[in-house]
């Protein structure tokens, strides 16, 4: 059995409450006693049991962060920023991955419940109803998902998507495709709405699709057959998968068709040709989500996005 507060108390002839106080309210204990307790604790290798502490205080000092897919390069910067923000306020952040499965989402929130003081749900896929139930059980903030009465950090992907389409239009494209994301995704919905009526652009929607490289590759033929010269993809991964698929079909990017991703992930930045993409403020979102959670502030924040033009977009063929 590990060494407990009682062992320390015994070791320096003092009562447990005094030991407890030396750790949770040091100023309330005599300086000399404090050093004695501290050194005894040190010597015995005493570590406060946070689970036990949380039982009385109701606080755990932990936060949870739930993402759909750790392997999606969109998330790591968000997670790292969230982690830094949590640390800065003396919290620990535990991360879990739902594998894009709404059921696991629920399960994980339940698992976190009582072991964390709050949870950040990133791009949750659950239905509104299920989500409502979840956020009722524990302080939560949502990232890229809107829900009545729940603190939210949103990225202005609508504007970014629109700018991306306008970029295409400006290049001379007339008929373009939107390769949409998964059905439950707020982001995908926003994008759809935002690009529905860009002046001068005829937009065909393809999807829903998995938010992965495979999702993009899978629709390459469909895109090639759609008679479009430009594409906005749900995210960088989908864009890259699409480019790979197009390549197999002998369609070159940006020679034959221009492709724009969304996220500005490291993967897109390193890809060749370097991916034109909509930069998402992921780090800001991670930081803000944690800050809002800790300060229990209720707010709806909209973070800006911007277009990063790189090498996968060009004027349509035939237009110099």
Task: Give which of a copy of itself, DNA, none residue 225 binds (C-beta under 5 to 8 Å, depending on kind).
Answer: none
Q: Would you tell me how many other CB atoms lie within 10 Å of the CB of residue 82?
A: 29
Stretch that binds DNA, among 7-15, 138-146, 163-171, 298-306 (CB under 7 A): 7-15
Distances (CA, A) of 24 to 27, 34, 222, 304: 9, 12, 63, 41
Hey, which residues between 254 and 313 contact a copy of itself (CB under 8 A)? Answer: 266-267, 270-273
Q: How many residues bind DNA (CB under 7 A)?
A: 32
Pairing status of strand 258-263 against strand 300-303: unpaired
> Rounded to 5 degrees, what are φ and ψ at 108?
-70, -40
Among 76, 207, 230, 261, binds a copy of itself (CB under 8 A): 76
Distances (CA, A) of 55 to 19, 37, 50, 88, 227: 18, 23, 9, 24, 63
- Residue 6 touches DNA, criterion: CB under 7 A: yes
- The tokens of 270 are what? 């390193």
Task: Give which of a copy of itself, DNA, none residue 128 binds (C-beta under 5 to 8 Å, depending on kind).
Answer: none
- Classified as helix, coil or strand, 10 is helix
> Rounded to 5 degrees, what are φ and ψ at 297?
-85, 145
Hey, which residues between 23 and 82 contact DNA (CB under 7 A)? Answer: 23-25, 28-34, 46-49, 52-53, 55-57
- Classified as helix, coil or strand, 278 is strand
Task: Give which of DNA, a copy of itself, none residue 17 binds (C-beta under 5 to 8 Å, depending on kind).
Answer: DNA
Binding site for a copy of itself (CB under 8 A): 2, 45, 47, 49-52, 54-55, 60-62, 70-71, 73, 76-77, 79-80, 83, 92-97, 99, 108, 110-111, 113-115, 137, 213, 240, 244, 266-267, 270-273
Binding site for DNA (CB under 7 A): 1-2, 4-6, 13-18, 20-21, 23-25, 28-34, 46-49, 52-53, 55-57
């Amino acid at each position: 059995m590990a060494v407990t507060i009682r062992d320390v108390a015994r070791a320096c002839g003092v009562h447990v409450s005094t030991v407890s106080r030396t750790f949770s309210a040091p100023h309330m204990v005599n300086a000399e006693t404090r050093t004695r307790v501290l050194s005894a604790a040190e010597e015995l290798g005493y570590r406060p049991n946070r689970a036990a502490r949380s039982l009385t205080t109701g606080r755990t000092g932990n936060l949870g962060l739930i993402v759909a897919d750790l392997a999606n390069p969109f998330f790591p910067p968000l997670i790292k920023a969230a982690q830094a923000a949590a640390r800065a306020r003396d919290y620990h952040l535990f991360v879990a991955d739902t594998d894009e499965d709404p059921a696991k989402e629920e399960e994980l929130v339940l698992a976190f419940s009582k072991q964390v003081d709050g949870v950040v749900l990133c791009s949750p896929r659950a239905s509104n109803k299920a989500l409502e139930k979840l956020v009722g059980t524990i302080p939560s903030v949502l990232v890229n998902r809107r829900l009545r009465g729940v603190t939210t950090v949103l990225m202005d992907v609508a504007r970014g998507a629109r700018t991306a389409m306008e970029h295409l239009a400006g290049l001379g494209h007339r008929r373009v495709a939107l390769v949409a994301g998964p059905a439950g995704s707020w982001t995908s919905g926003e994008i759809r709405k935002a690009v529905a009526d860009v002046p001068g652009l005829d937009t065909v929607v393809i999807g829903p699709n998995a938010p992965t490289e495979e999702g993009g590759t899978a629709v390459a033929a469909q895109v090639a057959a759609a008679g479009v010269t430009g594409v906005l993809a749900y995210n960088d991964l989908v864009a890259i998968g699409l480019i790979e698929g197009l390549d197999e079909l002998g369609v070159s990017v940006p020679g034959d068709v221009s492709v724009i991703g969304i996220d500005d992930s490291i993967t897109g930045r390193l890809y060749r040709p370097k991916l034109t993409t909509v930069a998402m403020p992921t780090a800001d979102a991670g930081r803000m989500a944690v800050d809002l959670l800790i300060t229990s502030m209720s707010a709806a924040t909209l973070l800006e996005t911007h277009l990063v033009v790189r090498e996968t977009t060009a004027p349509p063929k035939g237009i110099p």
